[in-house]
Chains A and B, each alone.
Chain A
Amino acid sequence: MKPAPFEYRVVQSVEEALELLGSQPGEARLLAGGQSLVPAMSARTETPALLIDINDVPTLRTITDHDDGIHLGALVRHAEVANNPDLAQNWPLLAEAVSHIASPAIRHRGTVGGSLAVGDPLAELATALTALDATASVASVGGQRNVPVADLSTAPFRTVLTAEEMIVAIQVPRHHGAVTAFHEISRRKGAAALGAAAVRLRLSAGTVADLRLALSGVLGSRLVDPTITDARLGLPASELASSSLVEDATASLEFVDDVTASSAYRRAVGVAALSRALDTALERADQLSNPA
């Protein structure tokens, strides 16, 4: 398990990284936290000719507040997401999701951008960011485009990113008055999930004013069809659980089928994760409107 020969370059700026990335399309890979790429290179399932180390690019490492929300540089580590007080205050869903990622060692190396770029259908952050309507800023030599995180991965380990593109930042909008919840189900702590669900919910005078759901372990987009969730707007919170929301939300989803679990079983897991995340969100919404 030693990687095949490769050229290794350390870059100081996004421009430099993009130029190198564009110079050998398909042959070059970006090294961020390396928690997926490096083991794959050691197993020689990934054999890039050129490895572009972006860890020294300062602009990729920042967490900055904006009027419209918060911007996470692509190199922000999972552990930084978990420990950032502003994120904890306003986007607690992210830290909740991060707590399920592997082990502390991996959370200290792995990055937000790297996780999204891998396109793992069971990744926690993509699920949480989808429920928060986050957007990825994707750059190439030709320019920059924004891709909703919900649309980033098209199939397991496939993304809409071209070989010349890199994720530079993730914008997470504010959701004033909303509560969130994340529930993951796995066979063992720290192991890949069987499935997980993220919920964003805002109540107004006891009725649903905003609702977004996302599920991991599915093929294609993790976002539950917004027409299903929007159909519950105006519903009293007390009726949400009994409104066949979970059944409707999961009915049209296709779940991953692999050596660990069948898709039928993953559906059951998805239903359980979503029901539980929804219960937690409703409890939190209740606490928000009726603080003890």
Chain B
Amino acid sequence: MNKSHIGARHPRKEDDRLLRGRGLYTADIQLPDMVHAAFVRSTKAHADLVSVDTQRARTLPGVIAIYTAADLGDGNPPLYNSNPHPALDPRPPRPLATDRVRYVGEPIAVVVAANRYVAEDAAGLVDVHYRPRAAAVEMASAVAEDAPEVHEGSHNHAAEFTVTFGDVEAKFRDAAVIVRGQFTADRASGSPMETRAVVAEYRRFERANGLLTVWSSTQMPHNGRRALAAMLDVPQHEVRFIAPDVGGAFGIKAVFYTEEYLVPWLARELGRPVKWVEDRHEHFVGSAHARAQVHHAELAVAADGTVLALRDDFLHDSGAYTTWGIVVPQLTAPGTIGPYRLTAMRVDCTVVFTNTTPTAAYRGAGRPESTFVIERLMDLAARELRIDPIEIRRRNVIHRDEFPYEFPIIGRDGKKVVYDSGDYHANIDQAVKLFDLDRRRADRAEMREAGRLIGIGCAIALEKSGLGPTEGAMLRVDPQDGAVYVFTGASSSGQGQETTLAQICADGLDVPVDQVRVVMSDTAAFPIGVGAIASRIATVGGNAVALAASSLRRKVLAVAAAELELDEDDLVVRNGHVQDGNDPSRVLSFQELAWRAGMPSPGMTHLKAYGPGLEAVEYFTPPGVVYASATHLALVEVDPATGLVKVLDYAASHDSGTIVNPMIVDGQVQGGIAAGIGSALLETLPYTADGEPATTTYNDYLIPSALDVPDAHIDYIHVPSPFNPLGIKGVGQAGTMPVPACIASAVDDALSTVGDITVDRFPVSPEWIWEALNTARQSRATREPSK
């Protein structure tokens, strides 16, 4: 196959419209007769709803309708559960709270008005009478015997599960060293630049019962259609779900939310298009949160540094409902193996209900957490055994000759955990080279001489990616403009998938990338689709496009052979044309071929041997997941007076198998590192003891800016995955996953000249470091009173 397009730094096809401000986001959609929705949301963490009085609000001029749960009647079914699981006690919310609210931000009523201003005025006039209940806020107290219950009879346990293999007890008995710790990942927000938004329109006279068209800033339009059709009990073909340009999603827009049900419901009920655009305050309380885990973990290690067994018992905060099932903790549990040749492990997980905003996936989805646990333990083992932290990793990572490497446990995808391919040693070697480790160590020594707190950290993460079940693509050459149209159920939330898929198509067909048009994120474009989650679009969607391109190429050759009256073997496909290999003057363009393969005049009999239309449909259904990997190294400085951490330099070596567009992949890795630095040092969503969110603006919720993130040294090794024809592995999250562990490792190292300090949480605040420094200085002063 010609590889001139796969691997090229092709400028993004999306950029022309996006950089010129000509993108179409959901909030840009204006429809005739459109009205606007605003929500009344709970201001209490946990309370009975005594009454919701809309009388005053209804009298406001411009108000069109107000609905409470009572007004919705049987139009208020539990929200569709996208991720059922046998271990899960599903507690989905209803679109509007009925008799009880369980978190600040839970929708109680919806107002529809002529514009958003009036809608918010009216929302402010809805009188909600609460009878407060005690709230369960912190996970540790929520699972206590006498804790207030978020859901009756649940004991605040949403799920419990165990992942285990090998003789853990024996390995711990035999260990030369056992290292352990409590590790905490704070609650975070996905913070896409574009908040969520939904517009819906109902056309009564289209289809049997009318057609509902929904534009939503979602990662999963096909799941949106499935959920909405199920909740409305209408055939799926009477719902069209479209994700227009999406300004970032990062996992939290995978969820099917209340608003994606209610806005279409209102459009159908009122017979008018309805728009709702989430504002930033709503985003902080009403869109899914993430992370929020507490681990108690220990690692058994032999005297030579060989890791033997891992034990981990962790709590995962589900928030008030089971919005994303147990997908995230199911990724965390086997994720704690990391790249290591572990022979025994036992991970116990309890998924906990609390009176807080429900949680879902956010970039990394449970793996920044699992990576933090195993990598912190590796650092502790290295410290305990006085082995170089990079050396102990080299001794334990799976060797390149051992793939596929199987663990006798079942993964989140329902199949046995099998690492498809990799070369972790090569990745470590390249990271060390990129970072110029020897020189950095010399620099560190020199800067320490000058009294500065300088540290070097490292971490390795695996990105389980390219998850199933499937994606499909239909390729069609348009007889009018000759462009190759790719219709696919794969979707995009702004990562450049139109370009990536176009490059794969161009490569398979040998047409210029500019001649490929990708139509996606619309259930009317292609009927079956999963969506832009789990770093899967290039892997699963890309291979579907490659299969379809190969199938279409066969059709192109069949048509050209018939039209040119030649054997297919005598034909050459080049740059959007097919020519006679012996006589280049005999040539037909794809457009001409599509025209000829189209239809003869109406009523004529089709005389050609090939079927009508220049098109092909294929699906790719992966046999298993693929594991990308990343080794990161960081150089940090800690301010001894304030505990502030500055990231001075950063290097990242990644294996994502075959890379389609290195420019896009560079952006994913650099952006992933930026998000990781936010998770490592800045981003947290604390609650008060009463369950009030303490951080609801960007004044308090700090995301790193370009000024806080170093320009990382990034390079790749390429170990193609054997699990798909193109050899692709995902890359959307691998940039983020190792960062909290890597920064923590570097901070420990920076503080090591003062004392033995272990960063056991992310983010780690400067105040935490300052306190740790004070404690270490005091204990040193006590130990060495004479100095």
A258-273 contact mask (Cβ, 8 Å, vs B): 1 or 0 = 0111100100110110
9-residue interface stretch from B27-35, B607-615, B700-708: B700-708
Complex contact B641–A192 (CB within 8 A): no
Bound-state Cα–Cα, A187 to B644, Å = 7
A194 near B: Cβ within 8 Å? yes
B684-724: CB near A (< 8 Å → 1, else 0) gives 00100000001101011010110110000000000000000
Say yes or no: is B667 at the interface (Cβ < 8 Å to chain A). Answer: no
- Closest A residue to B688 using CB positions: A259
Specify which chain A residues have a CB less than 8 angstroms from the CB of B707 in the assembled complex.
188-190
B1 to chain A minimum Cβ distance, whole angstroms, is 47
Once A190-B707, A268-B642 are accepted as A-B contacts, the answer to whether A1 and B124 lie under 8 Å apart by CB is: no
Inter-subunit contact B708/A44 (CB<8 Å): no
* B704 pairs with A188, CB closer than 8 A: yes
Annotate A185-199 by CB proximity to B: 1 below 8 A, 0 otherwise.
101111110100000
Which of B114-122, B339-347, B507-515 participates in binding chain A? B114-122
Cβ of B281 under 8 Å from chain A: yes
The yes or no answer to A241 lying at the interface (CB within 8 A) is: no
Q: How far is the CA of A272 from the CA of B700 in the complex (A)?
A: 22
A44 surroundings in chain B (CB, below 8 A): 120, 124
B262-293 near A? 1/0 per residue, CB < 8 Å: 00000000000000000111000000000000
> Smallest distance from the beta carbon of B242 to chain A beta carbons, Å?
26
Q: Which of A4, A191, A275 contacts B702 (CB 8 A)?
A: A191
Instruction: Name the residue in A189, A191, A262 with the highest tally of chain B Cβ atoms < 10 Å from its Cβ.
Output: A191
Name the CB-closest residue of B to A191.
B702
Q: Are A189 and B705 in contact (CB under 8 A)?
A: yes
Residue from B116, B280, B694, B770 within 8 A of A2 (CB atoms): B116
Kindly state the separation between the CA atoms of A70 and B533 in the bound complex, as whole angstroms. 59
CA distance A259 to B770 in the complex (A): 16
Q: Contact: B767 with A265, CB < 8 Å?
A: yes
With both chains docked as a complex, state the minimum distance between the C-beta of B773 and any C-beta of chain A, in angstroms: 10
- A268 touching B699, Cβ below 8 Å: no
Quick one: CB contact mask for B362-377 with A, threshold 8 Å, 1 for yes?
Answer: 0000000000000000
Residues in A87-130 with C-beta less than 8 Å from chain B? none
Please give, as numbers and ranges, the residues of chain B lying within 8 Å of A271 by CB-CB distance: 641
Q: Does B731 contact A (CB under 8 A)?
A: no
Nearest opposing residue in chain A for B640, CB measure = A272
Given known A4-B124, A260-B700, A268-B770, contact A185–B281 (CB-CB < 8 A): no
B682 contacts the other chain (Cβ, under 8 Å)?
yes
| Interface flag for A235 (CB, 8 Å) | no
B662 at the interface (CB under 8 A from A): no
If A185-B642, A194-B642, A271-B641 touch, does A262 touch B117 (CB 8 Å cutoff)? no
A38 nearest CB across to chain B (Å): 13
Tell me which residues from 1 to 33 in chain A have a Cβ below 8 Å from any Cβ of chain B: 1-5
Q: Is B581 located at the chain interface by the 8 A CB criterion?
A: no
- Complex partner residue of B699 from A4, A192, A272, CB under 8 angstroms: A192
Is the CB of A43 closer than 8 A to any CB of chain B?
A: yes
The reply to whether the CB of B766 lies closer than 8 angstroms to some CB of chain A is yes
Asked if A1 and B644 make an inter-chain contact with CB atoms under 8 angstroms apart, the answer reads no
Q: B695 near A2 (CB under 8 angstroms)?
A: no
Q: Do A43 and B281 touch (CB < 8 A)?
A: yes
Docked complex Cα distance between A183 and B84 (Å):
54
Note all chain A residues with C-beta closer than 8 A to B280.
Answer: 1
- Flag if A272 contacts B641 (CB, 8 Å): yes
Query: From residue 741 to 777 of chain B, which have CB atoms closer than 8 A to chain A?
Result: 766-767, 770-771
**Nearest-CB distance from A66 to chain B (Å)?**
37
Query: Which residue of chain A lies nearest to B774 when distances are taken between CB atoms in the complex?
Result: A268
Q: A43: which B residues are within 8 A, CB to CB?
A: 281, 697
Minimum CB–CB distance for A65 against chain B, Å: 35
Which single member of B642, B695, B704 contacts A272 (CB below 8 Å)? B642
**Bound state CA distance, A5 and B118, in angstroms?**
9
Contact residues in A for B639 (Cβ distance below 8 Å): 272
Is the beta-carbon distance between B694 and A259 smaller than 8 angstroms?
yes
Chain A residues with CB below 8 A from B681, complex form: 187
**Neighbouring A residues of B124 by C-beta, 8 Å:** 4, 44
Residue contact B116 to A188, C-beta cutoff 8 Å: no
The answer to whether B702 touches A269, judged by C-beta atoms less than 8 angstroms apart, is no
Across the interface, do B770 and A4 meet the contact criterion of CB distance under 8 Å?
A: no
How many chain B residues touch A (Cβ–Cβ < 8 Å)? 29
CB-CB nearest in chain A for B700: A259
Residues of B within 8 A of A268 (CB): 641-642, 770
Q: How far is the CA of A191 from the CA of B686 in the complex (A)?
A: 18
Residues of A within 8 A of B704 (CB): 188
Output the nearest chain A residue to B707 by Cβ-Cβ distance. Answer: A189
**Smallest CB gap from A275: residue in B:** B641
> Is the CB–CB distance between A4 and B767 below 8 Å?
no
CA distance in complex: A42, B324 (Å) = 31
Question: Cα distance A165–B527 when bound, in Å?
Answer: 65
CB distance from B198 to the nearest CB of A (A): 17
A187: B residues at CB distance < 8 A: 644, 681-682, 702, 766
Q: Which of B120, B644, B705, B708 contacts A185 (CB 8 A)?
A: B644
B767 to chain A, nearest CB (A): 4
Whether B279 and A1, one on each chain, are in contact in the complex, defined by CB atoms closer than 8 angstroms, is yes
Residues in A166-182 with C-beta less than 8 Å from chain B: none
Residue pair A2, B117 in contact (C-beta under 8 Å): yes
Contacts of A2 in B (CB 8 A): 116-117, 120
A3: B residues at CB distance < 8 A = 117
* Shortest Cβ distance from residue B776 to the other chain A in the assembled complex, whole angstroms: 15
Among B279, B699, B766, max chain A CB count under 10 A is at: B766
B631 shortest CB reach to chain A, Å:
27
User: Once the chains bind, are A269 and B121 in contact (CB under 8 Å)?
Assistant: no
Least CB distance, B138 to chain A, in whole angstroms: 16
Known: A1-B279, A5-B121. A188 touches B642 (CB 8 A): no
Asked if A189 meets B767 with Cβ closer than 8 Å, knowing A259-B694, A268-B641, the reply is no
B700, B767, B770 interface centre (most CB from chain A within 10 Å): B767
List chain A residues, Cβ under 8 A from B766. 187, 194, 265
How far, in Å, is A195 (CB) from chain B's closest CB?
Answer: 9
Give the docked Cα–Cα distance between A261 and B700 (Å). 11
Most buried by B among A2, A4, A192, A272: A2
- Partner among B281, B699, B705 whose Cβ is within 8 Å of the Cβ of A1: B281
Q: How far is the CB of B196 from chain A (nearest CB, A)?
A: 14
Interfacial chain B residues near A269, Cβ < 8 Å: 641-642
Inter-chain contact A261/B705, CB cutoff 8 Å: no
Q: Knowing A259-B694, A271-B641 touch, does A265 contact B770 (C-beta < 8 A)?
A: yes
**A202 CA / B640 CA spacing, docked (Å):** 30
Task: For the complex, give the distance between the alpha carbons of A187 and B702 in Å.
Answer: 8
Interface residues of A in 186-236 (CB under 8 A from B): 187-192, 194
Give CA–CA (A271, B280) in the complex, Å.
Answer: 35
**Given contacts A44-B124, A259-B694, A261-B767, are A189 and B641 in contact (CB under 8 A)?**
no
- Collect the chain B residues with CB atoms within 8 Å of residue A191's CB: 699, 702
CB of B451 to closest CB in A, whole Å = 15
In order of increasing CB-CB distance, the 7 nearest A-B pairs are A272-B641, A1-B279, A189-B707, A265-B767, A2-B117, A259-B694, A2-B120
Give me the interface of A with B, judged by CB distance under 8 Å. 1-5, 43-44, 185, 187-192, 194, 259-262, 265, 268-269, 271-272, 275
Q: A2-B120, A187-B702, A268-B770 are in contact. List 20 more A-B contacts (CB 8 A).
A: A1-B120, A1-B279, A1-B280, A5-B121, A187-B644, A188-B704, A188-B705, A188-B708, A190-B705, A190-B707, A191-B699, A194-B642, A194-B766, A259-B686, A260-B700, A262-B767, A269-B641, A269-B642, A271-B641, A272-B642
Please name 28 pairs of A and B residues whose Cβ atoms are closer than 8 Å in the assembled complex, sorted by A: A1-B120, A1-B279, A1-B280, A1-B281, A2-B117, A2-B120, A4-B120, A4-B124, A43-B281, A43-B697, A185-B644, A187-B681, A188-B682, A188-B704, A188-B707, A189-B708, A190-B705, A190-B707, A191-B702, A259-B694, A260-B700, A265-B766, A265-B767, A265-B770, A268-B642, A269-B642, A271-B641, A275-B641
Interface residues in chain B, defined as those with a beta carbon under 8 Å from any beta carbon in chain A: 116-117, 120-121, 124, 279-281, 639, 641-642, 644, 681-682, 686, 694-695, 697, 699-700, 702, 704-705, 707-708, 766-767, 770-771
